[in-house]
């Protein structure tokens, strides 16, 4: 098999192989250096200052670009810094269509920061292609989608969105955090730019912050933003994300296996009103998910019957941690209404389903029986 034909799992374990370490290190070395020595005038080793380039970060960027099937990758200090760099591609009076169901921090960035700089946004149910098309204006420059969305697990048809975007000569930007390139590769479905909170599944251990961009367009512009604003990922954190990616495939398979069993258990639980998980055949968007992904992931949201259940149950969890974030090996349960999505106005939250009875569960790799027993003990008071 040629180097160019290595499969995803192999690339995850072995990295990009763009540059072999001169001493033969199997694990990419951590180049914990802010600056690099020159051998003489105009004689650079290719590395000058770590804000511009660093060998450890470069290996991560090359690896994630290969995994997503993109032309170039960029690693940032957080997921929000990565989104910020993408939004900086636009200028005042540009218009962006955004998934109405999305992470609260992304909503806050659009509404409280970039709106004051003249970036216009329209929030749309991007699972409805007709609504998306009706929202396109003369000044529309991009469609920004989350799929599966956070936290309602809405599934947007990426191919249809990208076809629509190309017809109007606008960009498609996809936040691929929930599935990672192991389960979904938006660039191969026509998207132009993919974003990740690398903190989540790519890192996988709840121990570091990171943001990732993989792009097929505006590569030089994104690189300029990265270098100029300086929100780059440190060498050590780059190494942690690389280490996390090595086990991405086996982690996601185990997490998904657990999530399928838990989603079915929740569907039978008397205290649970509704379960949102793309792997359930009754889930709206299931057929699209089967078409465009190789897995359903391990994120589950579910609505309980009464608000009072929330406060009581969150105190009872023992195996599952009540904490923000997602994607790590430890299972985490989150209350989006006052945690991850508090920045979104209450009327919007209620309209799209982020009610005060909704919980979001990031399923880890623990024994699934322990997780179900913990859910049973906590929910069935």
Q: Which pLDDT score, from 0 to 100, does residue 19 have?
A: 82
pLDDT, one tens digit per residue, over 91-102 is 999 999 999 999
Q: Which domains occur in the chain, in start order?
A: 3-246 (3.40.640.10), 249-379 (3.90.1150.10)
- Looking at every residue in the chain, the average pLDDT score rounds to 95
Provide the token pair at 247: 């086990």
3-state helix, strand, coil in the chain (%, to 5): 40, 15, 45
Is residue 175 part of the annotated active site? The answer reads yes
* Catalytic entry in 157, 175, 192, 374: 175
Is residue 51 part of the annotated active site? The answer reads yes
Q: Which pLDDT score, from 0 to 100, does residue 204 have?
A: 98
* Catalytic entry in 200, 254, 349, 360: 200
* Catalytic entry in 31, 57, 103, 192: 103
What is the Cα–Cα distance from 72 to 4, expressed in whole angstroms? 16
* Catalytic entry in 6, 51, 246, 377: 51
Q: Which pLDDT score, from 0 to 100, does residue 207 have?
A: 97
Determine the longest span between alpha carbons in the chain, in angstroms.
73
Residue 215 has pLDDT above 60, yes or no: yes
Please give the sequence-ordered ranges of beta strands (E in DSSP) within the chain, or none if there are none: 72-76, 95-99, 120-124, 140-146, 171-175, 193-197, 211-215, 272-276, 299-304, 321-322, 332-334, 358-362
| Residues comprising the chain, all counted | 381
Residue 372 has pLDDT above 80, yes or no: yes
What is the Cα–Cα distance from 271 to 200, expressed in whole angstroms? 29
Q: Which pLDDT score, from 0 to 100, does residue 1 have?
A: 45
Tell me, yes or no, if the pTM score tops 0.75: yes
Q: How confident is the model at residue 58 (pLDDT cuts 50, 70, 90)?
A: very high
Q: How many CB atoms lie within 10 A of CB 344?
A: 25
pLDDT, one tens digit per residue, over 262-289 is 999 999 999 999 999 999 999 999 999 9
Q: Which pLDDT score, from 0 to 100, does residue 167 have?
A: 98
Q: Which tops the pLDDT comparison, 152 or 340?
A: 152
Q: How confident is the model at residue 199 (pLDDT cuts 50, 70, 90)?
A: very high
Q: Average of pLDDT values for 306-327?
A: 95
pLDDT, one tens digit per residue, over 7-34 is 999 999 999 988 877 788 999 999 999 9
- Residue 360: which of 329, 315, 327 has the closest Cα? 327
Q: Which pLDDT score, from 0 to 100, does residue 3 have?
A: 56
Is residue 200 part of the annotated active site? The answer reads yes
Q: Which pLDDT score, from 0 to 100, does residue 381 have?
A: 66
User: Can you spell out the DSSP letters for 142-157?
Assistant: EEEEESS-TTT-----
Provide the token pair at 300: 């589950």
Which residues make Cβ contacts (< 8 Å) with residue 65, sequence separation at least 6? 16, 71, 72, 73, 214
Could you give the angle at which helices 248-268 and 368-379 cross, rounded to 10 degrees?
Answer: 40
Residue 36 has pLDDT above 60, yes or no: yes
Provide the token pair at 215: 């792009």
């Amino acid at each position: 098999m040629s180097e160019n034909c290595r499969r995803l799992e192999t690339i995850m374990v072995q990295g990009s192989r763009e540059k072999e370490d001169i001493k033969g290190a199997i694990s990419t070395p951590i180049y914990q250096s802010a600056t690099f020595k020159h051998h003489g005038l105009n004689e650079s080793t290719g590395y000058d200052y770590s804000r511009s380039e660093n060998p450890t970060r470069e290996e991560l960027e090359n690896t994630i670009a290969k995994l997503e099937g993109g032309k170039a990758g960029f690693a940032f200090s957080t997921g929000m810094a990565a989104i910020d760099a993408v939004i900086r591609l636009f200028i005042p009076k540009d218009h962006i269509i955004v998934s109405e169901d999305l992470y609260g921090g992304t909503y806050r960035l659009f509404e409280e920061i970039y709106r004051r700089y003249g970036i216009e946004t329209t929030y749309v149910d991007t699972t409805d292609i007709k609504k998306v098309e009706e929202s396109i204006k003369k000044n529309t420059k991009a469609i920004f989608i989350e799929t599966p969305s956070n936290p309602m697990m809405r599934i947007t048809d990426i191919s249809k969105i990208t076809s629509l975007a190309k017809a109007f000569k606008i960009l498609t930007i996809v936040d691929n955090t929930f599935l990672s390139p192991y389960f979904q590769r938006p660039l191969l479905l026509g998207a132009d730019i993919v974003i990740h909170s690398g903190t989540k599944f790519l890192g996988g251990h709840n121990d570091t912050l990171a943001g990732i961009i993989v792009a097929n367009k505006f590569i030089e512009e994104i690189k300029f933003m990265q270098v100029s604003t300086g929100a780059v990922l440190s060498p050590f954190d780059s190494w942690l994300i690389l280490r996390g990616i090595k086990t991405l495939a086996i982690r996601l398979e185990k997490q998904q296996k657990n999530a399928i069993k838990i989603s079915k258990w929740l569907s039978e639980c008397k205290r649970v009103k509704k379960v949102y998980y793309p792997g359930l055949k009754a889930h709206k968007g299931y057929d699209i998910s089967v078409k465009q992904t190789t897995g359903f992931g391990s994120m589950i949201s579910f609505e309980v019957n009464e608000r009072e259940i929330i406060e009581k149950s969150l105190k009872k969890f023992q195996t599952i941690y009540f904490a923000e974030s997602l994607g790590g090996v430890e299972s985490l349960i989150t209350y989006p209404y006052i945690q991850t999505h508090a920045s979104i106005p209450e009327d919007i939250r209620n309209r799209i389903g982020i009610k005060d009875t909704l919980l979001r569960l990031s399923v880890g790799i623990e024994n699934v029986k322990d997780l179900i027993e913990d859910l049973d003990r906590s929910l069935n008071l």
